[in-house]
């Protein structure tokens, strides 16, 4: 391969430009104290997704896009509302699109993006991630429900302010177990939790095991000990106390 004189010059110019770019970035940080964007997870209110009610027809939703879900996953507002949508992400770039509307935002680490949208009529909208963000990208979705104002504001229709959620479920959710393990029959990243308890399970070494309390406990605190056949040794050890592990097991046993 021969490199002509012209190509050499073009390469040299490219290298100079790359060096200048990094040079200016370093100068900006060191001399002018320009902050480079970092992840926003330490900044409230973008640590978790939430809905803020400003008035009966004005809402603010803080979406946190993370691998691989949107928080909050379910949002309900009355028809006629104006919704201010903010989105950020603590991990990688995601996209947020509300199918059938003009709402289309990127979720970029270190950045909060914003759009305002009005919902004149009751309708159920799907929110999906439209930027490839890894293995679970295609499952990254949420729902935004626009309901009749009468339904929304009637006391008997509104859900109780504190929803009784099983403590074991909440642990599985907050410890990110459900990012890979499904509560339903579908499973791709990790074995599904559905109907698992009591079953005879084939392991990757060819042996079998009955899924009981002891197996579940071992699989939570020492995930690589006994791998379900067909799955890789990729599960991180969750940060959980003995009591939390027991609560998770009690919940897993209920998933028929
Ligand atoms: Cu998040 Cu694709």
Q: How far is the CA of 107 from the centre of ligand 1 (A)?
A: 9
Q: Which amino acids bring their CB within 6 angstroms of ligand 1?
A: 65, 68, 94, 129, 131-133, 137, 140
User: At residue 44, what are phi and psi to the nearest 5 degrees?
Assistant: -70, 150
Q: How far is the CA of 161 from the centre of ligand 1 (A)?
A: 30
Q: How far is the CA of 91 from the centre of ligand 1 (A)?
A: 10
CA 84 from chain center: how many Å?
Answer: 20
pTM: 0.49
CA angle centred on 91, ends 89 and 96, rounded to 5°: 40
**What's the maximum distance between 2 C-alpha atoms anywhere in the chain?**
80
Q: Which atom of ligand 1 is nearest to the CA of 93?
A: 1
Q: How far is the CA of 254 from the centre of ligand 1 (A)?
A: 31
Q: How far is the CA of 219 from the centre of ligand 1 (A)?
A: 28
Report, in angstroms and rounded to the nearest whole number, the Rg of the chain calculated over CA atoms.
24
Q: How far is the CA of 175 from the centre of ligand 1 (A)?
A: 20
What is the per-residue pLDDT across 146-197, written as a single tens digit (0 to 9) for each?
998 887 876 554 444 444 457 787 788 778 787 777 776 665 678 888 888 8
What is the per-residue pLDDT across 51-78, written as a single tens digit (0 to 9) for each?
888 888 899 999 999 999 999 999 999 9
Task: Output the residue whose Cα is nearest ligand 1's atom 1.
Answer: 94
Examine the pLDDT at 200 and tell me if it is beyond 50.
yes
What is the per-residue pLDDT across 90-139, written as a single tens digit (0 to 9) for each?
889 999 999 999 999 999 988 889 999 999 999 999 999 999 999 999 99
Q: Which atom of ligand 1 is nearest to the CA of 132?
A: 2
Q: Which atom of ligand 1 is nearest to the CA of 137?
A: 2
250: its two tokens: 């009690």
CB hemisphere CA count around 54 (13 angstroms): 10
Q: Which atom of ligand 1 is nearest to the CA of 65?
A: 1
Rounded CA-CA distance 86/126 in Å is: 17
Residue in the structure block whose two tokens are 């050890």: 237
Q: Which residue has the higher pLDDT, 193 or 48?
A: 193
β-pairing, 123-128 with 50-55? unpaired
Helix (H) or strand (E) holding 213, with range, is: helix 213-221
DSSP structure class, residue 188:
S
What is the per-residue pLDDT across 206-242, written as a single tens digit (0 to 9) for each?
999 999 989 888 988 888 888 888 888 888 888 888 8
């Amino acid at each position: 391969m021969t490199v002509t004189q012209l190509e050499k010059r073009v390469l040299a110019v490219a290298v100079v430009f790359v060096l200048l770019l990094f040079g200016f970035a370093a100068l900006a940080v060191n001399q002018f104290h320009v902050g480079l964007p970092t992840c926003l997870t330490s900044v409230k209110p973008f640590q978790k997704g939430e809905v803020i009610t400003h008035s009966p027809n004005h809402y603010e939703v803080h979406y946190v896009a993370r691998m691989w879900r949107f928080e909050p996953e379910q949002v309900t507002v009355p028809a006629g509302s104006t919704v201010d949508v903010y989105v950020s992400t603590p991990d990688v770039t995601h996209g947020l699109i509300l199918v059938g509307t003009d709402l289309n935002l990127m979720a970029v680490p270190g950045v909060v993006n914003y759009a305002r949208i009005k919902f004149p009529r009751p309708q159920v909208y799907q929110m999906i991630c439209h930027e490839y963000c890894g293995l679970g990208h295609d499952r990254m979705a949420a729902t935004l429900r626009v309901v009749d104002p009468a339904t929304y504001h009637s006391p008997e229709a509104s859900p109780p302010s504190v929803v009784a959620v099983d403590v074991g479920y909440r642990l599985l959710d907050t410890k990110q177990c459900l990012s890979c393990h499904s509560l339903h029959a579908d499973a791709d990243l990790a074995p599904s939790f559905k109907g698992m308890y009591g079953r005879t399970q084939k392991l990757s070494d060819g042996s079998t095991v009955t899924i009981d309390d002891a197996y579940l406990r071992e699989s939570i605190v020492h995930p690589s000990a006994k791998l379900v056949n067909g799955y890789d040794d990729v599960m991180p050890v969750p940060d959980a106390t003995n009591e939390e592990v027991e609560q998770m097991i009690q919940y897993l046993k209920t998933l028929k």
